[in-house]
């Protein structure tokens, strides 16, 4: 079985590092500067549908996925709020971002018709979703995270 690895950028030196999704809760260090990589304190950009499936399926904690697009103004407005959630819940929540233009098959699979849409996955399955730009507190309250 092929293990898909998620690309996690180092918070210190920005070097991309590959980490198996199932080990996102383990201690890992940047290959370049040796700074701890996980738990990830920033949203993880998902680069393929395989990465998405592996992350959602194998992550040791709940995964909040922000479906967005580069041309979407509200998506850019909510991005700092999503980053805040990643920082505040480091170690308890994995936050990922899916660009709906880059991965339309993933967006289609989950019926994304409006962005930004945030979906919380628990145990590989969709638990809850919210749509629209809102504060980190509102996202957390509506998704019960």
Q: Is the pLDDT of residue 2 over 90?
A: no
pLDDT at 5: 67
Residues 6+ apart with CB under 8 A from 68: 75, 78, 79, 97, 98, 99, 100, 115, 116
pLDDT digits (tens, 9 = 90+) for 122-136: 999 999 999 999 999
pLDDT at 6: 72
Q: Tell me the average pLDDT across 82-94.
A: 90
Residue whose token pair is 């590092």? 17
Cβ atoms 133, 77 nearer than 8 A: yes
pLDDT at 44: 84
CATH architecture of structural domain 5-143: 3-Layer(aba) Sandwich (3.40)
Q: Is the pLDDT of residue 23 over 80?
A: no
Per the document, the length of the chain is: 145
pLDDT digits (tens, 9 = 90+) for 29-83: 889 999 887 666 778 888 889 889 988 998 888 999 999 999 999 999 999 999 9
DSSP result, 78-143: HHHHHHHHHHHTTTT-EEEEEETTT-HHHHHHTT--SSSEEEEEETTEEEEEEES---HHHHHHHH
Q: Is the pLDDT of residue 1 over 50?
A: no
Q: Which residues are catalytic?
A: 72, 75
* Domain boundaries of the chain, sorted by first residue: 5-143
């Amino acid at each position: 079985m092929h293990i898909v690895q998620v690309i996690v950028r180092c918070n210190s030196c920005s070097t991309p590092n590959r980490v198996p999704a199932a080990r996102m809760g383990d201690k890992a260090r940047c290959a370049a500067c040796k700074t701890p990589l996980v738990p990830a304190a920033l949203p993880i950009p998902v680069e393929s549908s395989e990465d998405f499936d592996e992350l959602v399926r194998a992550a040791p904690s709940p995964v909040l996925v922000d479906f967005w697009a580069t041309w979407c103004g509200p998506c850019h407005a909510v991005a700092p709020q999503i980053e805040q959630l990643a920082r505040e819940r480091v170690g308890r929540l994995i936050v990922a971002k899916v660009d709906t233009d880059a991965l339309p098959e993933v967006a289609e699979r989950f019926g994304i018709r409006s962005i930004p849409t945030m979906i919380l996955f628990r145990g590989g399955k969709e638990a809850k979703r919210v749509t629209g730009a809102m504060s980190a507190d509102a996202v957390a309250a509506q998704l019960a995270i």
